[in-house]
Chains A and B, each alone.
Chain A
Amino acid sequence: MPSPADTPRDSNSASRANGAELVRFDKVTKRFGDVTVLDQLDFSVDTGKHVTLIGPSGSGKTTILRLLMTLLTPDEGTIKVDGDYLNHEERNGTLAKAGEKHVREVRKKIGMVFQQFNLFPNMKVLRNVTEAPVHVLGMSKDEADQRARELIELVGLSEQLDKYPSQLSGGQQQRVAIARALAMRPQVLLLDEVTSALDPELVAGVLDVLRDIAHTTDITMLVVTHEMSFARDISDAVLMFDRGKIVESGPPDKMFSEPEHERTREFLSTVL
């Protein structure tokens, strides 16, 4: 395992070589009570890649995203993001539990969009998007404002700047949530079943926005979804999960057309 010193600390996205390892799970185990959700999981995602996690519910896909967002902490194993330990800090040559400040610093590289949008109901659309850049990144109000307007235009909601989330449809709220996550300029974007809570006619609008982002930016994506055609469109790799382990992985064409593993075939036959 390379030590953090081997990885360039300058993580400016332009200078970062495409293809370098951005996320690494090393023997990560997560239990909820007696249930082992992730079992000694190893996997990595390279910079700029779009990786989709599929599998039956309860197979641990969402847990992976929540671990990366530090909404959960692993019981065993380590997670690295861009060369830095996420939950650990090296002190006197040994790994110790990381302090709040270290976690916040590494976490800045990650953004997340939730199944239930989780917009802040007490803020209008524009402020939902500017709040974190201003108060977390220390961006000036004007700059944050201008960038937020661009992002809101990107997701097609320029008309709605002055509305509260409760005045928007689910699809519109989710697109604001995408703009809000992108405003922090994360290196990795986590998408956690972002269309599962939407009415069917609103799904396409959200997926179009995400396709657009996937094809026009170099952002790394980790996607949990049940929208298999979307997964096929945007993914560089698909990982099939079952009971906390990766059963099979490969490029989307192979995974969806000629999966090798029986469990994958079974799962795909139920969702395709």
Chain B
Amino acid sequence: MMTEGMFTNYFLPGIWITIQVTVFSALLAVVVAFVIGTLRTSRLWIVRFLSGIYFELFRGTSSLVLMFWLVFAVPLMFRWQFVPMYAGVLALGLTYGAYGSEVVRGALAAVPAAQREAGVALGFTKFQRLRRIEIPQAWPEMVPPFNNLLIELLKGTALVSTIMVADMTYAANLVRIGSNESAPVYTLLLVLYFVFAFVLTRGMRVLERHAKSRIGQAPPRGDSLWSRLTLRSNAGEGTGALTAGGTSR
């Protein structure tokens, strides 16, 4: 039988590690998403090209293999070793940052061109336009797809158990070996991920409502992010990024 001691000694520390990996990777992913996403809207083709390469590269590589590469290949190639948890955070952050960059790019593209023109007419620099006009207007459009990605990321953190990071999946495996009770252990694990995902979704709802109220129920835009993503997915791009995380598991 799985005892209470097993929960407090193995699961609880594992839960804490999962939370840490999720938070750190999400922070890294948001930074990467905004940087790469805005660079992909640049007027300069070389900037678009290089940031596009980043996107394709990290969308097209498995985050599990990337973790293995960081942990097992990097020490051989560069005589330098990652703390395994940071390797996991890096792999997840870079990968989900790439997916997130597509969300940022799409939401920025959905801001009407007239807003950019108004910004030009008032003398704002490109950076000021992004910061004060375009990103604030695009932000409410970004929150729901970011929520999807965040939950994918949470579930993706289970991958770090394969590089000896003692997250809750790793703890569950230890407890299963010790107690030989696969059914309750893995059921509990499933429920734990679900509860975390549910809490995140609630939190993101609040964020979304807050974001929308801050732009004062903006008049409906003809071409919203959603219609754009739908169009793009018909063309074989776009929403693919939002679900592509599934292949790495």
Contact = CB atoms under 8 A, between A and B. Distances in A.
Contacts of A122: 133, 136-137, 214-216, 218
B117 A121 contact: no
B132 A131 contact: yes
Contacts of B117: 69, 71, 114, 118
A124 interface: yes
B216 A132 contact: no
B3 interface: no
Interface in A66-119: 69-71, 100, 104, 107-108, 110-112, 114, 116, 118-119
A69 B136 CA distance: 24
Contacts of B219: 121, 166
B222 interface: no
B207 to A, nearest CB: 16
A164 B133 CA distance: 14
A98 to B, nearest CB: 15
Nearest to B137: A122
A100, A131, A137 — which one has the most chain B CB atoms within 10 A of its CB?
A131
Nearest to A70: B120
Nearest to A112: B121
A112 B115 CA distance: 13
Contacts of A121: 137, 215-216, 218-219
A69 B118 contact: no
B247 interface: no
User: Interface size class for chain A?
Assistant: 20 to 34
B114 A116 contact: yes
Interface stretch (B86-94, B122-130, B178-186): B122-130
Given A136-B128, A164-B216, A164-B217, A118 B123 contact: no
B123 A107 contact: yes
A135 B123 CA distance: 9
A154 B242 CA distance: 50
Contacts of A24: none
Contacts of B123: 104, 107-108, 132, 136-137, 184
A131 B217 CA distance: 20
Given A114-B117, A121-B215, A180 B122 contact: yes
Given A114-B114, A120-B115, A181 B121 contact: yes
A108 B121 CA distance: 8
B230 to A, nearest CB: 23
B114, B123, B126 — which one has the most chain A CB atoms within 10 A of its CB?
B123
Contact of A135 (B114, B128, B137): B128
Contact of A118 (B118, B136, B215, B217): B118
A171 interface: no
B248 to A, nearest CB: 36
A161 B137 CA distance: 20
B217 A69 contact: no
A111 B216 contact: no
A104 B125 contact: yes
A167 interface: yes
Contacts of B218: 121-122, 166
Contacts of A111: 121-122
Interface string B210-235: 00001111110000000000000000
A165 interface: yes
B129 to A, nearest CB: 10
Contact of B114 (A118, A132, A165): A118
Contacts of A100: 125-126
B216 A166 contact: yes
29 contacts: A69-B120, A71-B117, A100-B125, A104-B125, A107-B120, A107-B123, A111-B121, A112-B121, A116-B114, A118-B114, A118-B118, A120-B115, A120-B118, A121-B137, A121-B215, A121-B216, A121-B219, A122-B136, A122-B215, A122-B218, A136-B123, A164-B215, A164-B217, A165-B216, A166-B216, A166-B217, A180-B122, A181-B122, A184-B122
Interface of B: 114-115, 117-118, 120-126, 128, 132-133, 136-137, 214-219
- Would you list the 4 A-B pairs with minimal beta carbon distance, nearest first? A164-B216, A118-B118, A132-B122, A121-B218
